[in-house]
């Protein structure tokens, strides 16, 4: 455990502010990736996002005196699987950003907590009672509402870019949920710093496997945007990790939904994307479902007397 962990007490306000900073950084990253999607393939975008996040994460671990912890993997194979799934989720998400309006892609990403509940039941044996079952079903209904304008396009994905983008975003949310389940198992043996560090390494290496599939030599402007995306991604990861050092997950998790507001603003003012009624209605339903799941998790934690500060090593 780093020295800073023992010296810091809980501060919900600071944790919330750090989470909002992380959400902002990730949304700026997504916007930069979307801005380059017409010329740069998703695999190449993943490389820039991962490689240029590495120096920031490396410096952060060095400042916290956690380089040894961050480099030490007790179960290397688990990091490989987490890296494979997480990198795939990132690639599908980036592909979806290039085919869908930013708010719609963001709304579909909110399906992740719903998938986490289902996968945790299947893979970890967690029981899903009536409350969470209802929340999952409501969330899936919200996803269908968001997808309703695209449903006709699923008959011919090759001819409907938006339908293909929606499919990519759902795959991204599902794979990200699977990565989350892997992390739940990994924290028993691996430190948070090791999980973050080795994911950055594996995603960088794995993105290079897409090199034969259409990488391009970007212009100076496009390269600058991609480098900025990587820096924002690394910064967002640090802010997110730090947020959970100051406040419990149940306190800061709901603020992830601030990304929807940012997506609407950026989509409208930067990309001239006007949100549709189905997208807004479906996003509201999905966010309500996810919020209910988060609330229920908090109540269960309190009931077990386990609502203690989360302090990553």
Q: What is the pLDDT of residue 305?
A: 60
pLDDT at res. 22: 94
Name the stretches of the chain with pLDDT < 70.
Answer: 1-9, 69-70, 155, 157-159, 250, 301, 304-313
Report the candidate in 206, 77, 167, 186 with the shortest Cα–Cα distance to residue 123.
186
What whole-number distance in Å separates Cα of residue 231 and Cα of residue 271?
22
Q: Report helix angle 12-36 to 42-51, nearest 10.
A: 140
Helix 258-269 to helix 102-109 angle (10° resolution) is 160
Confidence (pLDDT) at 6: 38
Residue 6 neighbours by CB distance under 10 Å: 8
Q: What's the pLDDT at 223? A: 97
How confident is the model at residue 191, as a pLDDT? 83
Domain extent listing, the chain? 10-127+150-273
Q: Enumerate residues 6+ apart whose C-beta is below 8 A from 265.
A: none
């Amino acid at each position: 455990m780093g020295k800073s962990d023992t010296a810091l007490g809980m501060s919900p306000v600071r944790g919330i502010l750090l989470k909002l900073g992380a959400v902002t950084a990730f949304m700026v990253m997504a916007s930069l990736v979307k801005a380059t999607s017409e010329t740069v393939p998703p695999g190449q975008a993943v490389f820039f996002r991962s490689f240029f996040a590495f120096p920031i994460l490396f410096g952060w671990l060095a400042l916290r005196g956690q380089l040894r912890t961050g480099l030490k993997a007790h179960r290397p194979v688990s990091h490989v699987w987490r890296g494979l799934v997480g990198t795939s989720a990132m690639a599908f998400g980036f592909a979806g950003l290039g085919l869908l309006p930013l708010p719609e892609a963001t709304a579909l990403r909110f399906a992740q907590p719903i998938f986490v509940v289902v996968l945790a039941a299947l893979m970890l044996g967690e029981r899903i009672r009536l409350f969470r079952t209802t929340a999952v079903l409501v969330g899936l209904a919200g996803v269908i509402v968001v997808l309703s304008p695209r449903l006709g396009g699923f008959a011919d994905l090759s001819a409907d870019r938006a339908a293909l983008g929606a499919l990519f975003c759902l795959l991204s949310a599902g794979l990200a949920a699977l990565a989350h389940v892997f992390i739940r198992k990994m924290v028993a043996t691996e430190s948070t710093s090791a999980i973050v560090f080795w994911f950055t390494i594996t995603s960088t290496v794995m993105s290079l496997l897409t090199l034969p599939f259409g990488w391009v030599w970007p212009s100076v402007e496009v390269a600058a945007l991609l480098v900025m995306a990587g820096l924002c991604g690394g910064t967002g990861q640090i802010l997110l990790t730090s947020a959970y050092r100051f406040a419990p997950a149940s306190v800061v998790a709901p603020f992830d939904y601030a990304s929807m507001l940012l997506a609407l603003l950026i989509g409208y003012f930067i990309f001239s994307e006007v949100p549709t009624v189905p997208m807004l209605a479906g996003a509201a339903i999905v966010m309500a479902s996810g919020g209910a799941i988060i609330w229920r998790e908090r109540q269960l934690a309190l009931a077990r007397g386990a609502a203690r500060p989360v302090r990553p090593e």
